[in-house]
């Protein structure tokens, strides 16, 4: 039996390849320090787990409304009004099993074959695959290290065509950790004025709440002609709960709901009640985790620079540092796996995040300060052994 081209040609998520090789090494008795994966190392805040336990005790273990429970959709709407000053009708909120499910539904509803979505380069590794899988075409617009990995609105406009259906943004960004300015968001919103058949803005806001300098803005502050993707995995340390949502224009909610009914029925019921507690009561814990991430961020930036890694602009959000490794080896894929095998430090190769990621490595600081210090020591030993000229030039 043959596998169709769509399934055969999808690229792997290389970060997961690194993680799975690291797990094999762990099973063989090696000690691994994980700086490759964007998964919070904190336990889910107690106020959230208690809400889940209560939901189970109260019998909330059945199918829910396909859009999500009313209480969670109202909590999402309240969150956007309190944090961003925008009014969201809860009827425009669709709760899903994580933002990955939301993306697959969204692009299935938005794109006909051959239609285009503009994305940054580099970008989150899976964006291309979601767009390609439903027959769309990702159009990459470079964001350059020397310019702080920021979009140039004029280059977005130049990349648009009659086939453009959306401009996809991610702020704070994975993998660069950069935050799009209010001025740039406003300029992008102006490119999607909302006329029938024209482009929209798709905003992945999953790292909101994890900003260390300045503040993040929602695209909904600038336009209603937008799709917002968000979830609970990152800021609430809820990766395994598989809970996300999207806020969509009114004419899209019923088609997306019907797709969700058919393909997933609903998001996990217990996770939804946990999400209500997260939005209503967990912000003090989010602030505490953010403070710890910030300490780690500063230490890892300093340590990597001491080892000679080039960080042209410090990340201001999320929990990643995207640094050039071309002075060691332009083949970031080979280098990442070599570092893993020889040091036990797992990092992500930059090519996973698009063509402009070649020659970069992504370091995650979702690990303890103690483990970050040990990882820096292992990297220092690795460089002394295999790239001594870079250590010598750095120390001069």
What is the CATH classification number for the domain harbouring 75? 3.40.640.10
pLDDT digit string (tens) for 261-305? 999 999 999 999 999 999 999 999 999 999 999 999 999 999 999
Write the DSSP assignment of 113-135 as a string of letters: TT-EEEEEES--TTHHHHHHHTT
Please indicate, yes or no, whether residues 156 and 238 belong to a single structural domain of this protein: yes
pLDDT at 10: 86
Which of 228, 254, 281 terminates a domain? The answer is: 281
Please indicate, yes or no, whether residues 300 and 227 belong to a single structural domain of this protein: no
- In a domain, residue 347? The reply is yes
Report yes or no: 151 and 120 within 8 Å, Cβ to Cβ: yes
pLDDT at 394: 56
- In a domain, residue 53? The reply is no
**What's the whole-number average pLDDT of the chain?**
95
Decide: helix, strand or coil at residue 65.
Answer: coil
Please indicate, yes or no, whether residues 118 and 261 belong to a single structural domain of this protein: yes
Task: Select the more confidently predicted residue: 62 or 194.
Answer: 62
Instruction: Answer whether residue 78 shows pLDDT above 60.
Output: yes
Please indicate, yes or no, whether residues 272 and 297 belong to a single structural domain of this protein: no
Please indicate, yes or no, whether residues 269 and 324 belong to a single structural domain of this protein: no
Please indicate, yes or no, whether residues 86 and 166 belong to a single structural domain of this protein: yes
- In a domain, residue 51? The reply is no
pLDDT at 48: 98
Instruction: Answer whether residue 396 shows pLDDT above 50.
Output: no
pLDDT at 312: 84
Which of 281, 313, 342 terminates a domain? The answer is: 281
- In a domain, residue 389? The reply is no
**Residues pairing with 244 in the sheet:** 96, 231
Q: Closest by alpha carbon to 226, among 184, 185, 286? A: 185
Task: Select the more confidently predicted residue: 339 or 146.
Answer: 339
Residue 147 CA to residue 161 CA, distance in Å, equals 25
Task: List, as own/partner pairs, every contact residues 156-162 make where C-beta atoms lie below 8 angstroms and the sequence separation is at least 24, other chains included.
Answer: 156/118, 156/188, 156/191, 157/191, 159/118, 160/118, 160/191, 160/199, 161/116
pLDDT digit string (tens) for 87-134? 999 999 999 999 999 999 999 999 999 999 999 999 999 999 999 999
- In a domain, residue 48? The reply is no
- In a domain, residue 49? The reply is no
Q: Closest by alpha carbon to 329, among 385, 392, 393, 387? A: 387
pLDDT digit string (tens) for 365-385? 999 999 999 999 999 999 999
Residue 109 CA to residue 249 CA, distance in Å, equals 12
- In a domain, residue 388? The reply is no
- In a domain, residue 9? The reply is yes
Please indicate, yes or no, whether residues 158 and 262 belong to a single structural domain of this protein: yes
Which of 232, 261, 281 terminates a domain? The answer is: 281
Q: Which domain holds residue 234?
A: 59-281
pLDDT digit string (tens) for 33-54? 999 999 999 999 999 999 999 9
Please indicate, yes or no, whether residues 141 and 265 belong to a single structural domain of this protein: yes
Mean pLDDT to the nearest integer, 228-238: 98
For residue 1, what pLDDT band results from cuts at 50, 70 and 90?
confident
For residue 198, what pLDDT band results from cuts at 50, 70 and 90?
confident
pLDDT at 269: 98
Please indicate, yes or no, whether residues 262 and 310 belong to a single structural domain of this protein: no
Please indicate, yes or no, whether residues 275 and 334 belong to a single structural domain of this protein: no
The total number of structural domains that make up the chain: 2
Report yes or no: 301 and 83 within 8 Å, Cβ to Cβ: no
Q: Closest by alpha carbon to 352, among 149, 73, 125, 43? A: 125
Please indicate, yes or no, whether residues 119 and 248 belong to a single structural domain of this protein: yes
Please indicate, yes or no, whether residues 95 and 186 belong to a single structural domain of this protein: yes
Mean pLDDT to the nearest integer, 323-340: 96
Can you read off the two tokens belonging to residue 71?
């209480």
For residue 194, what pLDDT band results from cuts at 50, 70 and 90?
confident
CATH number of the domain residue 377 falls in? 3.90.1150.10
**Residues pairing with 211 in the sheet:** 317
Instruction: Answer whether residue 395 shows pLDDT above 70.
Output: no
Percent of the chain with pLDDT over 70: 98
| Strands 116-121, 93-96: pairing kind | unpaired
For residue 344, what pLDDT band results from cuts at 50, 70 and 90?
very high
Instruction: Answer whether residue 196 shows pLDDT above 90.
Output: no
For residue 193, what pLDDT band results from cuts at 50, 70 and 90?
confident
């Amino acid at each position: 039996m043959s596998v169709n081209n769509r399934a055969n040609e999808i690229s792997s998520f290389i970060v997961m390849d690194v993680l799975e090789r690291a797990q094999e090494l762990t099973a063989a008795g090696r000690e691994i320090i994980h700086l490759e994966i964007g998964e919070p190392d904190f336990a889910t805040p107690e106020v959230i787990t208690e809400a889940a336990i209560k939901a189970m005790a109260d019998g909330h273990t059945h199918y829910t409304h396909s859009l999500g429970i009313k209480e969670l959709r109202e909590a999402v709407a309240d969150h956007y009004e309190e944090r961003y000053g925008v009014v969201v009708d809860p009827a425009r909120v669709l709760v899903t099993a994580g933002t990955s499910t939301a993306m697959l539904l969204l692009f299935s509803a938005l794109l006909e074959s051959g239609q285009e979505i503009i994305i940054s380069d580099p970008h989150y590794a899976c964006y291309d695959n979601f767009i390609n899988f439903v027959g769309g075409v990702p159009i990459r617009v470079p964001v350059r290290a020397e310019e702080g990995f920021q979009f140039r609105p004029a280059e977005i406009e130049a990349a648009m065509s009659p086939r453009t259906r959306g401009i996809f943004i991610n702020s704070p960004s994975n993998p660069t950790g950069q935050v799009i300015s209010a001025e740039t968001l406003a300029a992008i919103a102006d490119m999607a004025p909302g006329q029938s058949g024209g482009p929209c803005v798709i905003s992945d806001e999953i790292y909101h709440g994890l900003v260390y300098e300045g503040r993040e803005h929602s695209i909904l502050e600038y336009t209603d002609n937008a799709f917002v993707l968000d979830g609970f995995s990152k800021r609430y340390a809820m990766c395994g709960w598989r809970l996300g949502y999207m806020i969509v224009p009114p004419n899209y909610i019923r088609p997306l709901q019907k797709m969700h009914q058919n393909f997933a029925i609903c998001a996990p019921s217990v996770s939804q009640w946990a999400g209500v507690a997260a939005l209503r009561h967990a912000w003090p814990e989010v602030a505490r985790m953010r403070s710890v991430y910030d300490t780690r961020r500063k230490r890892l930036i300093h340590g990597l620079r001491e080892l000679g890694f080039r960080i042209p602009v410090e990340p201001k959000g999320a929990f990643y540092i995207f640094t050039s490794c071309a002075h060691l080896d332009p083949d970031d894929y080979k280098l990442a796996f070599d570092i893993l095998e020889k040091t036990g430090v797992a990092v992500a190769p930059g090519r996973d995040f698009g063509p402009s990621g070649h020659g970069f490595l992504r370091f995650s600081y979702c690990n303890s300060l103690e483990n970050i210090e040990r990882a820096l020591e292992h990297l220092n030993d690795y460089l002394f052994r295999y790239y001594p000229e870079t250590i010598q030039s750095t120390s001069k």
